Amino acid sequence: MDRNAGVSDFVLLSEITEDSIIENLKVRFKADAIYTYIGNVVVALNPFKSVSLYGDEWIRRYKGANLWERDPHIYAIADGAFRDMQDRNRDQCVIVTGESGAGKTEASKIFLRYIAAVSSLTDKVDHVKDRLLNSNPCLEAFGNAKTLRNDNSSRFGKYMDVQFDFRGRPTGGIITTYLLEKSRVVNAAEGERNFHIFYQLLRGADDALLEKLHLKRSIADFSYLRKSQCDTVANVDDSQSFKEVMRALQMVEMEKDTISMLLEGIAAILHIGNISFELGEEGECNLANVDALESAAKLLGISSSALKQCLTYRLVKDQAKDHKNTISVPLNPDQACFARDGLSKALYGRLFQHLVQKINHHLNGTTNQKERNVIGVLDIYGFEVMQKNGFEQFLINYCNEKLQQLFIELTLKSEQDEYARENIGWTEITYFNNRTICELIESKRTGIIAFLDEECARPGEVTDLTFLDKVETNQAKHPHFQSRINAKSDKFLLSSAAFRLKHYAGDVNYSVDGFLERNKDHLTSATLEAMKGSSRFAELFPEQSGSKRPETLATQFRTSMNLLIENIKLKNPHYIRCLKPSDKRPGVFDEELVRHQCRYLGIQESVRVRRAGFAFRLRYDKFLERFKMLSNATWPNFADPREGTQLILKDLRIAEEEYAFGATKVFIKHPSTLFQIEEARNTQKHGLATHIRAVYLGYIRRKLYKAEMRSLIVLQALARMKHSSAQYSRMRNATLMITANFRGYVARKLVRGLRRKIPKYAAAIIQRAWRRHRTCIFLSLAAKAARIANGRWRKVDWPYVPGGMGVVQFGSMQLHPGVNGGKRMSGRFAGGGGNRPQSGGKKRSAQKEERIVSGSASGSSKRAADVLKRMYERNEAAKYRKALDLDIRLQLEWKIVILDSFKEKETYKEGIWQRSHGCHLDSETVQALKAKWDKLVFNTSESIIASLTTTKLHRHTPTKSAPRITFLTAVALYNVDPKTWGLKEVIPLSEISSLSVSPYKDGIVVIHGEGKMTSSSNTIEGNRSKSSVAPLNASNTALADLKPWKGDLILDVESRAVEFASRLYLEVKHRNQQPKLNISTSLYYMVAGKSHTLAFQKESNPPKQRIKKASGEKDCFVVAVF
């Protein structure tokens, strides 16, 4: 971009003419300088190509810069709006205007991207920014389309309020839309396209989604899309666009169900468009495409009969029955097509509004004006003149008339009116005031919209021609209205049902064909009833059939436009005037096309106003409040705002011709003067900031000084206290030393006297008394430690053992340190007896004992203390065991057996850490066992200790096996056949001599015995009848009836080897026996007096048959284990 190309601000042109403005635009356009100022208004040319004027570097260049410091750019307007909102707490609004294809949508995107880039950066703010920016692709997909003038034309108006908190961080937004061109859904002009989303869905969705929506990829298969004979856009990939739209919907956190509903609605519209009608033999309306009807009905969530009914019939109230009943009246094919298209338009319009509502919900916008500032962005349709202009063009151009009127009021007219009010002399400028055209269209009684609504509501036969007649009758004399009555020489108006309006942008002919129907925008009662019964789209049709007539589309649009204008008036406006240099041809500048746009945008009038007037104006009180620091006379306060303003300008030495004083405001002529004042303010702000910083730092330093002084006083007090304490300690120690020495002197003197009087044996008595004293101290400390430990006796903090501890009395036991390992039984302390002298033998014995006791006091005292601690722990452990439940005690006893005897088994830890419940049978087996109990056991009073399913291995050939149910009682071990419930083996516990297991993770247990056992294949009843098993108890011993022991029993209990073997081991032990336990890799067992071997081998992948005969060994079998 050439910065010196042309003039960057039209105000600086030497001559203000239309030709000079066009020439300046052309020069700058050729140099890629597409932006030019008119004061604070930016004029933007659409280059129809990519230009290097955007990005992070350009954003940094414009951030915080004054409007005239940098080249003209949308970034400068955006930065000015953002800073004005922050500095002055004023709501802002940017109005983007221009005709279709001028780049309004792209300009609004550039504006929003800059605001998003310069606002505060936090994770939450970035999340809000992403949702705001990603709302644009969603709305463009559903609301934009390719037209003859623009490949991405907005077919709806959009106003977005971006909301900020007091720190300038985006917090949310609200989007308002205006007049979606729903007629494009059913009838796009030749060479144009329907809305983008239709083509994106067909080309970008995957096959599964298309199959779910009953769609095909071919555009030609759908009537609504093939009419215009245009289905592509140059340099646009619809497939990629669809992915971007889906990604954008996810970024705004749209629910999956909502996305699915939107796509189903789009697909349903395509299927509805394929429904065609034909006239039947009896004049009825028949469907020509049933498949399309069924697909549409399925997607809409209604029955195909209901959809057919609403398309081929209409409901009419029965006047004979006071309108309480309705009559179904059949439609002809043309009427059915009209009903079909009406349903498609209504469904698409409501889907679009539903999308906008969902986006607003996820943008977290609020309507509370007190809690936020906003920057509004208005991107609305440009002025349109088509080959055939209808109802939509009428409303679009009415919108542009309103915006032009607003621009005139806010710039040209307000400028002149303000100068007049402030008594500022300047040259009057004539301009085109389009208020009369706006009144012609929107007047509540005589406006075109009022006549249109009146015809729509009037009973009887009304047509578009009756509407035209009424408008011609009432507006024939209006200077901006022409029709066949007042333009008799105009062939076009005479030959067609149309009227002409003289807009500010030029004359436009409007065909009234379809005005009434499009203005009504109502659904038929039959269609409304059918859609209210939809399982997917009923929420989009909340109105009740037969309720009050809703407002017409034109009235709704007029109301929304008036609300929009009032909203903009409350904000500080900024303008971006977009121009189209050519018809989508990069690098081409069509002077006539640009001239026409400059005329209806009022570019020349805007330049003349800025050139003749003042660039800046501000109320005296506001000027004084902002710039009072620039004069010593006005800082910090001044009473008279006007006099204070004069003093400030005088002190700044501003030339008198550069400003003027009005009644309430001061006016600055050139932007450079204002920039000079702002620079002086910024410089002075730095000086004030330095002064404030100095005052603040002084306050902080004084505060720190006071805190340090308080700390110093405290330190001094502590130092004096420490010094005094040390001095007192020295004096006290000296006093104690003196008194100790004196007492020592007295004691030694007394001892010397006593030595002459007391016999020698008194020393032993004194030693015993001393040791007793030390022992009492230790015992009291031990008792205190035991009381403190309480239940935590395992972690008792045993006291330090003092030296010289004597005999410790504990019950009837005396602990003599150093004598016989620290223990000797006696009834009282050794030496007994008072102060009487002992006889010779006893005296020598006592002296010998005392020598032994005192000779090893240190080590012996420690051993005595250890003995006492062990006695204490054993006593506490005994009390702990007695307090336990019987079940817990048995569990602990069983765990101890596992820990002591089975630690060589790899699975012993599982038995320790798992609590065993004994019974491992299912409920059905348990019930059967209870039923057979009295026929199985020796004594019916026996209880089961453990029960489980096992596998008995054959003694001769362990590769063979048989299933068993094994249960253990306190008397015997029983094996039962689970199929016949035959009692197979009964082994009395008294006959079990030893158990054998391997050290591995297998479940094989070998039970060895030398006595007798039962081993029968008969059933339980047979055994009982023969009395082969007799009760085994103290009163009845029937071991003689048991069959001889055939050999050791081999059981495979799988994963419960440790649990089962330990249980059996413990129960045999309870029979006053001490069974042997063999844990080895080779287990020997006896069969009929002959020894056999099971050898265990570890393998990484053992075969299915894990027991096999050893090669070369006759009675040896190999067991493969993990």
Q: 776-809: per-residue pLDDT in tens?
A: 888 888 888 888 877 777 777 777 666 555 544 4
pLDDT tens for each residue of 1059-1118: 888 888 888 888 767 889 999 999 988 887 788 899 998 887 766 658 888 887 788 999
pLDDT at 325: 67
pLDDT at 545: 57
Which residues, in sequence order, are CB contacts of 17 under 8 Å at separation 6+? 604
Using pLDDT thresholds of 50, 70 and 90, give the confidence band for residue 429: low
Question: Over 80: is that where the pLDDT of 392 sits?
Answer: yes
Question: Over 60: is that where the pLDDT of 127 sits?
Answer: yes
* First-to-final CA distance of the chain: 81
For the chain, helix (H) and strand (E) counts, in that order, are: 37, 35
For residue 804 the two structure tokens come to 């010289």
pLDDT at 376: 92
pLDDT at 839: 42
pLDDT at 705: 95
pLDDT tens for each residue of 263-292: 999 999 999 999 999 887 776 788 888 899
Considering the chain, what percentage of its residues have pLDDT values greater than 90?
26
pLDDT at 1019: 35
Are 35 and 6 a contacting pair, CB within 8 Å?
no
Radius of gyration of the chain (CA): 54
pLDDT at 215: 93
pLDDT at 358: 92
pLDDT at 940: 63
pLDDT at 966: 92
pLDDT tens for each residue of 954-968: 988 888 899 999 989
CA atoms 181, 182, 185, 187: torsion sign: negative
Which residues, in sequence order, are CB contacts of 954 under 8 Å at separation 6+? 960, 961, 962
Q: What is the mean pLDDT of residues 506-534?
A: 85
pLDDT tens for each residue of 49-101: 888 889 889 999 999 887 767 889 999 999 999 988 888 888 999 999 888 78
pLDDT at 285: 83
For residue 714 the two structure tokens come to 């405290």
Are 891 and 916 a contacting pair, CB within 8 Å?
yes
pLDDT at 696: 93
Q: What is the mean pLDDT of residues 648-657?
A: 85
pLDDT at 548: 65
pLDDT tens for each residue of 874-890: 888 888 878 888 778 87
Question: Over 90: is that where the pLDDT of 952 sits?
Answer: yes
Compute the distance between CA of residue 341 and CA of residue 349 in angstroms, rounded to an integer. 12
Which position has the higher pLDDT, 910 or 554? 554
Question: Over 90: is that where the pLDDT of 401 sits?
Answer: no
Hunting for tokens 């003067």 — which residue is that?
Answer: 673
Are 1005 and 997 a contacting pair, CB within 8 Å?
yes
Question: Over 60: is that where the pLDDT of 855 sits?
Answer: no
According to DSSP, the β-strands at 41-45 and 572-579 are: parallel
Question: Using CB atoms within 10 A of its CB, is residue 390 exposed (0-12), middle (13-18) or buried (19+)?
Answer: middle
Which position has the higher pLDDT, 554 or 1029? 554
Question: Over 50: is that where the pLDDT of 861 sits?
Answer: yes
Are 120 and 624 a contacting pair, CB within 8 Å?
no
pLDDT at 373: 86
Question: Over 90: is that where the pLDDT of 207 sits?
Answer: yes
Compute the distance between CA of residue 1069 and CA of residue 309 in angstroms, rounded to an integer. 92
Q: Which region holds residue 382: left if phi is over 0, alpha if psi is between -120 and 50, else beta?
A: beta
According to DSSP, the β-strands at 1076-1079 and 961-968 are: unpaired
pLDDT at 223: 93
Task: Give the phi and the psi of residue 316 in degrees, each rounded to 5.
Answer: -125, 135
Which position has the higher pLDDT, 320 or 304? 304
Hunting for tokens 């009038």 — which residue is that?
Answer: 605
Instruction: Give the predicted TM-score (pTM) of the model.
Output: 0.57
Question: Over 90: is that where the pLDDT of 262 sits?
Answer: yes
pLDDT tens for each residue of 889-929: 878 888 888 888 888 888 888 777 777 677 888 888 888 88
Output the average pLDDT for the chain. 82
Alpha helices (H) along 146-255: 183-186, 196-204, 207-212, 223-226, 238-251
92-106, 508-522, 859-873, 918-932: range with lowest mean pLDDT: 859-873
Are 1042 and 1014 a contacting pair, CB within 8 Å?
yes
Active site members: 100-101, 105, 150, 153-154, 382, 384
pLDDT at 546: 55
pLDDT at 829: 33
pLDDT at 843: 45
pLDDT at 2: 63
pLDDT at 830: 36
pLDDT tens for each residue of 354-373: 999 999 988 876 555 555 78
Which position has the higher pLDDT, 761 or 535? 535
